[in-house]
Amino acid sequence: MESLKVLAVCLSLVYVAKASFFEVRYPSVVVAAETGGNLTIEAGPNAGNIYMTPGTRGTVFIGRTDMLKLFEIVNSQPPIWGQKAPYGSLGTFLGGDNITVQLTAMDPEGSKLRFEKIAGALPPGVLLSASGLLSGVAPDVDATYEFGIRVVDEQGKYADQTFTIDTRELDQCRSNPCKNNGVCTDAYGNYTCHCTTQYGGRTCTINCENEAVGVAYGVRKIPDAQMSGYYAFGGSDHKAYEGRLESTTGWIGENAASWLQIDFGNERKVHAVATQGYSDTFNLVTYKLACSVDGNSFIDAASKNFTGSGASFKTITKQVLPSPVICRYLRFLPLTWTNSHPGFRVEVYACDEY
Ligand SMILES: *[C@@H]1O[C@H](CO)[C@@H](O)[C@H](O)[C@H]1NC(C)=O
Ligand SMILES: *[C@@H]1O[C@H](CO)[C@@H](O)[C@H](O)[C@H]1NC(C)=O
Ligand SMILES: *[C@@H]1O[C@H](CO)[C@@H](O)[C@H](O)[C@H]1NC(C)=O
Ligand SMILES: *[C@@H]1O[C@H](CO)[C@@H](O)[C@H](O)[C@H]1NC(C)=O
Ligand SMILES: [Ca+2]
Ligand SMILES: [Ca+2]
């Protein structure tokens, strides 16, 4: 072996001097013809063969083309889909359900596979990963989504298949979420309740006629600053915030031009009110209610007068409005009273949602 190498080096030394056609560039061997000459490698006659054998991890090039790679591409078989479902159906999913489907394919050569969408539309919110996993949340609609997926091997050989995913809208009203005869309307992943007159809240569980906004002295959800009075008896001696139900005092108006106003802070649907008198001397016999959403223009909350007096000035007299009315500002306007001036304390019953 050593002697051959030495010989080869000698040969190269000999021929490099001329226009080379056999050259040893240690450790490679180059065989080249003269400029314009052809290189012919010829096997022996009578079925002699020519072998080009790359070394381990080596290859054979013609020009810049890697011949082994080329043969690999030529010989590679396309992947084969694993999904055999009729019409490519991947299933039916109910709105809001998780969709998790692994597409399967195998390659005859065992090549690594990549999945990609080539046509159609996946359900919104569902994604396809390169490894063929479809995942996401089924949209809450009745629909069929059809799409084409290509699975590609490392040689670029591919197989296409069309799939479908069906989604079914989930009826969120199925569980009858609306109470007290409220009417349920199904929505995208949700529902809304349309409550009967008396009820409120998301599921109509609140009886609005009993839902105090909190004027009463023991509750005071309505702060002092949201209570105001016009034309009080004795001027500043009688503050509007004294007009709270069960307060030890009360608010006293001067006459029928006076009013006590509650600002809820936002629009409410007012269903009922309650009043107490201030004392035996200052009581409230009848009154009207006025309602406003902007604090400027007021309308009658009901086309009727309410009775405020009870057996005693301490009696709480609750009055349900003939029909609920939407207000942010509610005024109590005294019409008739005992003795010289109208004196009273109030609470309001209303729902937030309507
Ligand atoms: C090389 O081969 C081509 C094609 O067979 C031929 O036309 C050409 O004459 C050859 N060149 C020489 C120098 O033999
Ligand atoms: C859907 O998947 C999410 C995240 O993996 C999980 O939190 C949720 O509980 C699943 N929902 C259902 C209905 O399986
Ligand atoms: C349904 O709608 C209500 C009111 O709009 C909202 O508070 C709630 O978060 C929604 N629920 C879902 C599951 O989207
Ligand atoms: C309400 O009371 C006022 C004053 O007492 C009276 O003039 C009016 O007619 C009454 N309205 C109704 C509808 O009873
Ligand atoms: Ca293949
Ligand atoms: Ca729905």
DSSP string, 16-39: HTSS-SEEEETTEEEE-PPTTPPP
- Cβ neighbors of 54 (< 8 A, separation 6 or more) are 60, 68
Contact between 51 and 60 (Cβ < 8 Å): no
Indicate which CATH number applies to the domain containing 178: 2.10.25.10
Q: What's the CA-to-centroid distance between 287 and ligand 5, angstroms?
A: 90
Question: How confident is the model at residue 191, as a pLDDT?
Answer: 94
Residue nearest to atom 13 of ligand 3 (CA): 190
Among 38, 39, 41, 42, say which to mutate for ligand 1: greatest number of ligand atoms within 8 Å of CB: 38
Q: Same domain, yes or no, for 145 and 176?
A: no
Separation in Å, CA 150 to CA 115, 117, 170? 6, 6, 31
For a pocket test of ligand 4, which of 300, 303, 305, 337 has the largest count of ligand atoms closer than 8 A to its C-beta? 305
Residue 94 identity (one-letter amino acid): L
CB of 36 within 6 A of ligand 1: the answer is yes
Supply the pLDDT for residue 50. 94
Domain with 84, as residue range(s), is 80-168
Whether residues 226 and 335 fall in one domain: yes
pLDDT at residue 5 in the model = 47
Mean confidence (pLDDT) of the chain? 91
DSSP 245-282: TT-SS-EEBSSTT-EEEEEEEEEEEEEEEEEEES-SSS
19 assigned to some structural domain: no
> Amino acid letter at 14?
V
- 285 Cβ closer than 6 Å to some ligand 4 atom: no
How wide is the angle at C-alpha 286 spanned by C-alphas 285 and 290, nearest 5°? 145
Tell me the CA distances in angstroms from 266 to 67, 87, 133, 296, 347, one per residue in order: 80, 57, 50, 15, 16
Q: For the stretch 257-285, what's the b/e string if a residue is b when 16 or more beta carbons lie within 10 angstroms of its beta carbon?
A: ebbbbbbbeeebbbbbbbbbbbeeebbbe
Measured from the Cβ of residue 131, the count of other Cβ atoms closer than 10 Å reads 11
Among protein residues, the one with the nearest Cα to ligand 4's atom 7 is: 335
Residue 274, both tokens:
């309650």
Q: What is the pLDDT of residues 154-183, one digit of tens each?
A: 999 999 999 999 999 999 999 999 999 999
270 lies in some domain: yes
* C-beta of 256 in contact with ligand 4 (< 6 A): no
Do 330 and 218 sit in the same domain of this protein?
Answer: yes
Same domain flag for 244 and 146 = no
Ligand nearest to the CA of 78: 5
pLDDT at 133: 97
Cα gap 34→279, rounded to integer Å: 129
Total residue length of the chain: 354
| The amino acid at 62 | I
Q: Which atom of ligand 4 is nearest to the CA of 303?
A: 13
pLDDT of residue 17: 42
Residues 286 and 323 in one domain: yes
Nearest CA to ligand 2 atom 11: 98
Supply φ then ψ for residue 266, to 5 degrees.
-155, 170
Task: Cite the DSSP H helix spans in the chain.
Answer: 2-16, 67-75
Residue 346 and residue 216 share a domain: yes
Task: Write the Ramachandran bin of 57: left for phi over 0, alpha for psi from -120 to 50, otherwise beta.
Answer: left
**Is the domain of 229 the same as that of 299?**
yes
Residue nearest to atom 7 of ligand 2 (CA): 98
Could you tell me the CA-to-CA distances from 1 to 4, 5, 6, 8, 106 in Å, in that order? 5, 6, 9, 11, 48
Question: What is the structure's pLDDT at 235?
Answer: 61
Same domain, 229 and 323: yes
Residues 92 and 127 in one domain: yes
The torsion defined by the Cα of 305, 243, 240 and 260, in degrees rounded to 10, comes to -10
What does DSSP say about strands 227-230 and 259-277: parallel, antiparallel, or unpaired?
antiparallel
Q: Among candidates 250, 256, 323, which has minimal Cα distance to 283? A: 250
Claim to verify: residue 139 and residue 224 sit in the same structural domain: no
CA contacts within 13 A on the Cβ side of 345:
23
pLDDT tens per residue across all 354 residues of the chain: 444 444 444 444 444 445 557 888 889 998 888 888 898 999 999 999 999 999 999 999 999 999 999 999 999 999 999 977 667 899 999 998 999 999 999 999 999 999 999 999 999 999 999 999 999 999 999 999 999 999 999 999 999 999 999 999 999 999 999 999 999 999 888 899 999 999 999 999 999 999 999 999 999 999 999 999 999 998 657 899 999 999 999 999 999 999 999 999 999 999 999 999 999 999 999 999 999 999 999 999 999 999 998 889 999 999 999 999 999 999 999 999 988 899 999 999 999 865
Q: Quote the ligand 4 centre to 287 CA distance (angstroms).
A: 9
Are 185 and 246 part of one and the same domain? Answer: no
Using only C-alpha atoms, the chain has a radius of gyration, in whole angstroms, of 46
In the chain, the number of structural domains is: 3
**Residue 278: closest CA among 344, 347, 346:** 344
